Amino acid sequence: MLGRTGRAVVSHPGGCVIGVRPIDVHLKGIQALGARVRSEHGYIVCEAPPGGLVGGEMYLGSSFGSSVLGTANVLMAACFARGRTVIHGAACEPEVTDLADCLSRMGAKVRGQGSPRLEIEGVESLGGVTWNVIPDRIEAGTYLLAGAITGGAVRVEQCRPDHLTVLQDRLAAAGVPFQVGSDWIASVARDVRDPERRAKPTDVTTLPYPGFATDLQAQWMALMTLAGGVSVITENIYPDRYMHLAELLRLGANIRRQGSTAVVQGVDALSGAQVTASDLRASAALVMAGLVAKGTTEVHRVYHIDRGYERIDERLSALGAHVERVNDREEALKE
């Protein structure tokens, strides 16, 4: 919007309750392109200088690593900036690469996608394109972990296994069997009630891509609640992203938090209970835990989950899960 029209007004960000999510990297980047930024009555007002944005050189890293959406926003704005823009510390996530490739097909001049250094030469305009967006690696990883926690054979097709290499590495370390093809990945059936076939305790640390994704941290924690020993999970992207921890405790998990680290002592079984989802990935983790908990688990506020998983209840039911969706609309409106 800023690049095309010279002015954009948006509200301060909200979203899932996963801790503070500053937008300083976004604003720093567009200011490096010459934009003026101010805050008015809860809104952020961004205005390009007379003549439009101007290319610049900037560093977009932060104390928590690179910013995916910060990189994406500055990349899109830079496409319309006069001259050359260089972004150092750019996010290397596949989603950023896919965006850069799409913009290039639309007429943008982008080099370095997939690396921490992006170069953009501004253009006058972009044209239309037909583009197939890359598969959602977090959705694929979640279903794979659902198969891992239940011991089911779940084959996720039309995905990109090369985008999930670190998850494959951690599953192998946990002794969870899986198979991989060119565009599919599948968990292998096993009897998780057999102590010899339980997942082994395995540590993970969330990092920018290609490290372990923060958006798979909650689901991994659910898996480790039933591992045969102690696992350590360190959250380096959003240190407060542990709202699911207390809810997993309601199901009988044994977890304690120490700052940005969670120590998970595996238990023999989880027990169904009423739990509350605080955010998108916590919702998925609680549903996963409910699949293996003894008795009935009720997950409230599941309207979060629909932002990241299309018809998850229907898909899990098709895999043999006993899942029933109860209308959560009234609960959402009350909030």
Please report, for residues 31, 96, 125, 130, the alpha-carbon distance to residue 56 in angstroms, rounded to integers and kept in the order given: 9, 19, 19, 30
**Over residues 215-224, mean pLDDT:** 98
| pLDDT range class, residue 334, cuts 50, 70, 90 | low
Q: What is the pTM of this model?
A: 0.92
H or E stretch covering 256: strand 254-258
- CATH number for the domain spanning 205: value is 3.65.10.10
Taking only the tens place, the pLDDT of each residue in 153-206 is: 999 999 999 999 999 999 999 999 999 999 999 999 999 999 999 999 999 999
Same-domain check for residues 186 and 74:
no
Same-domain check for residues 109 and 242:
no
Same-domain check for residues 317 and 209:
yes
Q: 164 in a domain, yes or no?
A: yes
CB environment 128-150: b (16+ within 10 A), e (fewer) = eeeeeebbbbbbbbbbbbbbbbb
Question: Does residue 207 sit in helix, strand or coil?
Answer: coil
Same-domain check for residues 160 and 232:
yes
Report the percent of the chain where pLDDT is more than 70: 95
Q: 131 in a domain, yes or no?
A: no
Q: 130 in a domain, yes or no?
A: no
- If one counts the domains in the chain, the total is 2
Same-domain check for residues 180 and 322:
yes
**Over residues 261-275, mean pLDDT:** 97
Q: 321 in a domain, yes or no?
A: yes
HEC assignment per residue over 135-166: CCHHHHHHHHHHHHHHCCCCEEECCCHHHHHH
| pLDDT range class, residue 12, cuts 50, 70, 90 | confident
| pLDDT range class, residue 15, cuts 50, 70, 90 | low
Q: 264 in a domain, yes or no?
A: yes
Q: In sequence order, which ranges of the chain are alpha helices (DSSP H)?
A: 2-5, 24-32, 68-78, 94-105, 137-150, 165-173, 217-224, 243-250, 280-292, 312-318, 329-334
Catalytic hit among 16, 46, 92, 159: 16
Same-domain check for residues 156 and 67:
no
- Higher-pLDDT residue of 98, 329: 98
Contacts (Cβ under 8 Å, ≥6 apart) of 9: 43, 44, 45, 46
Distance CA 309, CA 105 (A): 28
Does the pLDDT at position 20 exceed 60? no
Please report, for residues 89, 148, 176, 255, the alpha-carbon distance to residue 267 in angstroms, rounded to integers and kept in the order given: 41, 16, 17, 10
Same-domain check for residues 112 and 211:
no
Q: By residue range, what is the domain housing residue 193?
A: 137-334
Q: The tokens of 154 are what? A: 């779940």
Same-domain check for residues 72 and 158:
no
Distance CA 114, CA 288 (A): 32
Distance CA 240, CA 208 (A): 16
Residue 298 CB neighbours (<10 A): 14
Lowest mean pLDDT among 60-64, 320-324, 329-333: 329-333
Same-domain check for residues 256 and 194:
yes
Q: 266 in a domain, yes or no?
A: yes
* Of the candidates 205, 135, 203, 133, the residue with the CA atom closest to the CA atom of residue 163: 135
Same-domain check for residues 320 and 195:
yes
Q: 309 in a domain, yes or no?
A: yes
The rounded radius of gyration (Å) of the Cα atoms in the chain is 22
Tell me the one-letter amino acid at 253.
Answer: A
Same-domain check for residues 159 and 113:
no
Same-domain check for residues 149 and 111:
no
* Sheet (strand 178-180) strand order: 155-157, 184-187, 178-180
Residue ending a domain, among 121, 149, 171, is: 121
For the question of residue 16 being annotated catalytic, the response is: yes
Q: 127 in a domain, yes or no?
A: no
Tell me the one-letter amino acid at 112.
Answer: G
| pLDDT range class, residue 238, cuts 50, 70, 90 | confident
Name 275's bridge partners.
Answer: 299
